[in-house]
Amino acid sequence: MSRYPGTNTLLPLLRKLSESLGKHRAECELRWLIKHARENIGASISTHQHTPAMSTGSMTSWVRRDLPEQWTDEIQRDNDQLTPVQQAWLRQAISDRAERLKPLQYIIGKQHFGGVNILVRPPVPIPHWETEEFVDQLTEVIASHTDQVSLSYMLQGLSNPRPLNILDACTGSGCVALALGHVLAEKSVRILGVDISDDALQLAMDNLAFNQMLLGNRIQFAKVDLQQPVHMLPEQLRFADEEVSAGWDMIVANPPYVTPSQYRNMDAGTREWEDIRALVPFPPGTTDPHNVPSEDLDPSGMSFVVQLAKLARELGLASRDRGEYLSVCSDFPPPLLPRLVVEIGSPEQAQSARQIMHDHGLNLTEVWKDMNEVELAVAGYFK
């Protein structure tokens, strides 16, 4: 029997974690789990000074070198210990990761995103760095517009312009809306995040409450099925206590765009834990996405982008010129504001999205790329 409780049961889990993720990734994720256990789980180690515990340094060392015969000896020499409560949590976390393929973010329960902390839980998709980079670029575009408009109003001694009305379609965890509401200037935007998923809406509202003190702009969430005929949607797209009398200014979305073939090749953890409806576009009215015949699925992954372009046209975004600003900002016109911005997943989808936007009245489009010059999003303008 080992002198160190939990060692015998943990070693097979560590081995499986290393085998399933690879040593480097396993070590990185193990460090995150250890950090979370130490900082967030159980009581202070000072109350357990006489209870043998697992060495965090030794665990990551073992994963790196794969030398289990040295591992237990290193525990005794390592002073960086976890309490029994933390040890039990860590063992369960490693089991969930190694055996159930539960994504790391779901285990930890939070993900930093655009200056806010996003609670995450299955089956709502985890915010990814690509979306965060897309939001960073979006924030710069919106800020350059609102700053110029505000400056023109100030120079003419006018009160502040009305905030931009932004629709965050397919809001999921609410990460896009909350990041924009945090970073953009106070009272410069109003954002309505919509989704069809009850799980997503509850999580988005939890995240709104969790980050409320960080927000300088108004954000609300509502349940709306955006795959309805677009003429039915304007009446449903409103803030809880008032209509959007000035009209919508922009739609932003990280919509379902994964193709069926891409989904089949995604890692097992994503397929097992994240809602497929948030990843792959399905025909309207689909109740059981796992039993949709393959011939009914969109091989391009762009059907939801088509629906969003139709909605943009229905809401007047393919014709509005922000006329209420023209007289005030005539001397210093603000940068053009995109009317529809969607995240995409490939160069082919970027070109398809541009054509879709052109076909629905957004007569100027541009592709936004990430730091590696990979296509990230498409923005459509009316000029």
Cross-strand pairs, 368: 377
Question: Can you give the pLDDT at residue 8?
Answer: 54
H or E stretch at 165:
strand 164-169
CA-CA distance, 9 to 135, in Å (whole number)? 43
Which phi and psi angles does 195 have, rounded to 5°? -160, 160
Tokens 């796992």 correspond to 290
Angle between helices 23-40 and 56-65 (to 10 degrees): 170
Tokens of residue 346, six digits: 């490939």
The number of residues in the chain equals 383
Question: Can you give the pLDDT at residue 16?
Answer: 83
- Exposure b/e, 261-272, CB count within 10 A at least 16 = b: eebeeeeebbee
Say if residues 315 and 234 touch (Cβ distance below 8 Å): yes
Say if residues 125 and 170 touch (Cβ distance below 8 Å): no
Helix (H, G, I), strand (E, B) or coil at 240: coil
Question: Can you give the pLDDT at residue 244?
Answer: 67
Question: Can you give the pLDDT at residue 243?
Answer: 65
- Would you report the helix, strand and coil content of the chain in percent, each value rounded to 5? 50, 15, 40
3-class secondary structure per residue, the chain: CCCCCCHHHHHHHHHHHHHHHCHHHHHHHHHHHHHHHHHHCCCCHHHHCCCCCCEHHHHHHHHHHCCHHHHHHHHHHCCCECCHHHHHHHHHHHHHHHHCCCCHHHHHCEEEECCEEEECCCCCCCCCHHHHHHHHHHHHHHHHHHHHHHHHHHHCCCCCCCCEEEEEECCCCCHHHHHHHHHCCCCCEEEEEEECCHHHHHHHHHHHHHCHHHCCCEEEEEECCCCCCHHHCCCCCCECCECCCCCCCEEEECCCCCCHHHHHCCCHHHHHHCCHHHCCCCCCCCCCHHHCCHHHCCCCCCHHHHHHHHHHHHCCCCCCCCHHHHCCCCCCCCCCCCCEEEECCCHHHHHHHHHHHHHCCCCEEEEEECCCCCEEEEEEECC
Cross-strand pairs, 111: 118
Question: Can you give the pLDDT at residue 325?
Answer: 63
Please choose, from the candidates 325, 374, 366, 361, the residue with its C-alpha nearest in 3D space to the C-alpha of residue 151: 325
Domains of the chain, CATH where assigned: 7-100 (no CATH), 119-381 (3.40.50.150)
Cross-strand pairs, 365: 380
Question: Can you give the pLDDT at residue 3?
Answer: 45
Which phi and psi angles does 122 have, rounded to 5°? -70, 150
Would you write out the chain's pLDDT as a tens digit for each of its 383 residues?
A: 444 444 556 677 788 888 888 888 888 888 888 889 888 987 544 444 433 444 455 555 545 555 344 444 443 333 357 788 888 898 899 999 999 999 999 999 999 999 999 999 999 999 999 999 999 999 999 999 999 888 888 888 888 888 999 999 999 999 999 999 999 999 999 999 999 999 999 999 999 999 999 999 999 999 999 999 999 999 999 888 776 666 899 999 999 999 999 999 999 999 999 999 999 999 999 989 989 998 899 999 999 999 999 999 999 998 765 556 666 776 677 788 999 999 999 999 999 999 999 999 999 999 999 999 999 999 999 98
Cross-strand pairs, 380: 340, 365
